[in-house]
């Protein structure tokens, strides 16, 4: 990928998060690997710094994630996803010094 084709990190993580839940389940080895992928992406979103507008955009694109995880038998992951989603929507930009 050329330097000028790079995207902001929050856009890349959001794109990956959109694909990651497919195949998540507590019943298979692949499902466990996919759950680990979702957890990693959620950790990055929760711990990472980004503009509030980017955080809200990710929220609007992925606010159903907790429901999807719950439907796939992942209630603890669903709860964590809800915490991250709630954090994203509540963010505000830090004042510039």
pLDDT for res 65: 94
Model pLDDT for residues 36-84, shown as the tens digit of each residue = 888 999 999 999 999 999 999 999 999 999 999 999 888 999 999 999 9
> For the chain, what is the HEC assignment?
CCHHHCCCHHHHHHHHHHHCCCCCCCCCHHHHHHHHHHHHHHHHHHHCCCCHHHHHHHHHHHCCHHHHHHHCCCHHHHHHHHHHHHHHHHCCCCCCC
Lowest-confidence segment of 8-12, 23-27, 34-38 by average pLDDT: 23-27
Chain-centre distance for alpha carbon 33: 16
List, in order, residues 6 or more apart from 16 with CB less than 8 Å away.
Answer: 37, 41
Task: Flag whether pLDDT at 21 surpasses 90.
Answer: no
Indicate the pTM of the whole model: 0.79
């Amino acid at each position: 990928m050329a330097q000028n084709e790079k995207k902001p990190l929050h856009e890349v993580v959001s794109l990956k998060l959109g694909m990651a839940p497919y195949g998540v389940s507590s019943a298979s080895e692949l499902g466990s690997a996919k759950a680990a992928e979702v957890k990693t992406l959620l950790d990055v979103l929760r711990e990472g710094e980004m503009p509030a507008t980017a955080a809200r955009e990710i929220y609007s694109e992925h606010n159903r994630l907790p429901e999807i995880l719950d439907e796939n038998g992942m209630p603890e992951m669903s709860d964590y996803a809800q915490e991250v989603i709630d954090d994203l929507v509540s963010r505000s930009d830090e004042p510039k010094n």
